[in-house]
Structure 1
């Protein structure tokens, strides 16, 4: 069904409670595992209805944040989601404690029951009011950023549309653009500090009410970390500091020489060529058409996938002033449809949407007919491998988007991916330190960020900018507010995707077969097992990062 034709119906919480109670009661009374599984299939249909309508409200609110109807529906969903989670946990606990669990494990997998165990540790009915307050704070931050109005050269732009100026080939233009952005954030930094301060205190209260020392352990459960812990992540970050930060610094130095400046300033961040970054040669519509051609040539499966997305209006990617910032892929269960949301802005990021978000969506499309929906319930570090690897698998078609600047794009893309790795770890360590000391003042949090910049991004010179030089950059990173502790998933996935890049440079067919295996394995097994089955090394293993850097440097030197 076309997205514009998908009907929206507000979730009726009286009906939701009645249906959950019915499913829970019948599951408890079931006389066999097979009977429980038949009831569980009814649960798939019911929960799919709820999820579809909540997702439709969220998408349509993001499409136009000034639409009063969907703003109210989005606020309503913020309120009911914690209550729905309460019912979800009640039902999950019945499955977890089932006398027929051995039968259910064979039906829906052992990973499912580990995830239930984690979910039960992450929720209690008594924290629902705090969760509702947390959702409201997230929406407050999101709206503040989405409605940013930045005056520049006689026009007014939002944050996304400023990108073409902050990456301009003219250094003076990008310097002024970064200054305009800095001025905006300086005007709202106190408000953002207040929102975040409330978030940190709120999340800490939730954790303490559940019996944890701080929010970190609760956050790991909420991120469904079912096969690795904080110590493993710390060891991973240590390896990044030792092996990857020096590699990234060498890439920054090559970039400095290439763009012809004496020293890199913060307004040179994201600029890779003296004549400007390569930009797509076509219109937004032509970019989508080129994407369709590319995916038809990549494989039969990707061609069918992209046709499905286009025919059913499952892309909303054109930038608009009242549109929510950022980009994502989500899924509409009732229509077995992935959906891609983004903000094209005339930069290479537009093409990244057609590769990155389509990597997510393609994997969702491959699993669309899977009866066991838990197999599609992948953890986020796995999900990001699908998207980041697709960026590399599509390298051979970049001439469709960049013409004779294809090689420039490939160089820029790889360097950008590589220098992201230290930044992503910095975001993660920042959050660990913030939530370990929730009593920190806003000024102390900014000082922590400034300190971490020196460890992870030693090249960064903020040239005494009043916002950025004082540790404010993190306020632009929406994940810190919306999805705490998510960012390390991108880094873990990036290391895995770079392993795929090394593999495809040696044998593209083998790499693609392993990628399809990864996509289809989905959540049938744990992350650390799935990547090994797909021919990759675990990022947590000592030596993995050093070995990868050695292979990558041979390609970039």
Structure 2
């Protein structure tokens, strides 16, 4: 296991050191990503190409690294009495209320109901734009609105959480007063974001590289959802006893609960774009995350796969679950390498499906919040309080949500999101 940890940490080190020179300036990935959703199509195309170039410089190294990881993980699974790493990770992640068969049913429902719906949305976008939509266009509906803000993250969210609830107000005040965060953007800083509970201080600590993008705003809300849970459970001996699908439901639901107060950090004229972007991305994320989970399952079922076979496998899964996805050039992602940019595949295998299941729950909380905020928030807080004492599906049922494994829940959220987006479409085109 030490060897596996060493290999997976090598991935983070390699990625944190990625840089490209542009117009005489050396840029890291966070600095590049800020412009990858620029309102000017030429600029975002240019910065997406830079991002692709940076990753392409380590493509073969990633092939070799992942090949070693697959083999050592398979060996660990066999030595601990499991048939493969998939079974091992189900046990490791504490999944007691569903198994591999339920996830197969879920993936089939996503492929049947959500992927076609999102594909139709992108066809509409192509019609509105009058040209093909490539991967760097996916977050855009017009070429006018910048999906960025210049407002301060920490102070803006102070207003948001003061307004949201007494629980978030108390949590965030202490977080800020004790400076339990690191959101600055600087050279050499690790990519990604997290919220870790620190027992010595009885507080969560939030880490992010904030670049002012809509995505970064969403990420901070996400990590604060994790932080609120650990804050409410501090001192609880069962703090770390919930499964990761439960924890991700806390955080992904918070991304929607901040919506009524998002004008504290996003300008009013940008808000329809933020919401449209967030909701459509929520559906496309379910498709992408399901593809990631299926990819890992197939890879660890056949650990003898060659690097080339894995790239081909990913291309096939993209065609199934993300049929709208188009790459303009023969670069990193075109080669079937998009999964190599997903840190969870390299460092935390089989964790990613937890985000997907949580997204289904979060969208249901959003629907409840649209109808009655007080009721939705009450259910959410009870969901947090009961975490650690119930399984994922028991918590889902206690919050009066529908199981993600039911076809009806997939149809309901996809239809509801589409109907909502149709009503605001004229505002964003």
Partner of 1:203: 73
Q: Are positions 1:154 and 2:24 aligned together?
A: yes
- The answer as to whether partners of 1:446 and 1:471 remain within 8 angstroms in 2 is yes
How big is each residue's C-alpha offset from its partner over 1:155-185, in whole Å with a ceiling of 9 and x where there is no partner? 1111122112211122222222222222222
Partner of 2:201: 335
SS at structure 1 position matched to 2:266? helix
Deviation at 1:257, TM superposition (A): 4.5
Deviation at 1:203, TM superposition (A): 0.2
Partner of 2:170: 304
Partner of 1:134: 4
SS at structure 2 position matched to 1:368? coil
Which of 349, 365, 380 is the aligned partner of 2:215? 349
Partner of 1:380: 244
Q: Are positions 1:278 and 2:278 aligned together?
A: no
Moved more, 447-456 or 154-163: 154-163
Deviation at 1:266, TM superposition (A): 2.0
Give the Cα–Cα distance (whole angstroms) in 2 for the partners of residues 551 and 177 of structure 1. 34
Distance of aligned partners of 1:345 and 1:199 in 2 relative to their CA distance in 1, 3 Å threshold: same
Partner of 2:107: 237
Which of 350, 354, 366 is the aligned partner of 2:232? 366
Which of 346, 357, 360 is the aligned partner of 1:495? 360
Give the Cα–Cα distance (whole angstroms) in 1 for the partners of residues 404 and 201 of structure 2. 36
SS at structure 2 position matched to 1:344? coil
Summarize the alignment of residues 302-451 of structure 1 with structure 2, pairs less than 5 Å apart.
302-370=168-236, 373-404=237-268, 405-451=270-316
What's the Cα RMSD here? 1.4
How big is each residue's C-alpha offset from its partner over 1:82-130, in whole Å with a ceiling of 9 and x where there is no partner? xxxxxxxxxxxxxxxxxxxxxxxxxxxxxxxxxxxxxxxxxxxxxxxxx
SS at structure 2 position matched to 1:338? strand
- Count of matched residue positions in the alignment of Structure 1 and Structure 2: 421
- The answer as to whether partners of 1:168 and 1:271 remain within 8 angstroms in 2 is no
- The answer as to whether partners of 2:39 and 2:143 remain within 8 angstroms in 1 is yes
Partner of 2:117: 247
Distance of aligned partners of 1:537 and 1:498 in 2 relative to their CA distance in 1, 3 Å threshold: same
Higher relative contact order (Cα pairs below 8 Å, separated by 6+ residues): 2
Q: Are positions 1:182 and 2:58 aligned together?
A: no
Give the Cα–Cα distance (whole angstroms) in 2 for the partners of residues 318 and 380 of structure 1. 27
Partner of 1:172: 42
Distance of aligned partners of 1:421 and 1:205 in 2 relative to their CA distance in 1, 3 Å threshold: same
SS at structure 2 position matched to 1:509? helix
Give the Cα–Cα distance (whole angstroms) in 1 for the partners of residues 380 and 249 of structure 2. 9
Deviation at 1:376, TM superposition (A): 4.2
Deviation at 1:207, TM superposition (A): 1.1
Q: TM-score when scaled to structure 1?
A: 0.74
SS at structure 1 position matched to 2:38? coil
Q: TM-score when scaled to structure 2?
A: 0.95
Deviation at 1:261, TM superposition (A): 4.4
Distance of aligned partners of 1:328 and 1:216 in 2 relative to their CA distance in 1, 3 Å threshold: same
Distance of aligned partners of 1:183 and 1:491 in 2 relative to their CA distance in 1, 3 Å threshold: same
Which of 548, 553, 557 is the aligned partner of 2:413? 548
Rg larger in structure: 1
Distance of aligned partners of 1:287 and 1:466 in 2 relative to their CA distance in 1, 3 Å threshold: closer
**Structure 2: tracts of 5 or more residues without a match:** 423-429
Give the Cα–Cα distance (whole angstroms) in 1 for the partners of residues 34 and 245 of structure 2. 30
How big is each residue's C-alpha offset from its partner over 1:343-375, in whole Å with a ceiling of 9 and x where there is no partner? 0112112311331110110111111133xx125
SS at structure 2 position matched to 1:343? coil
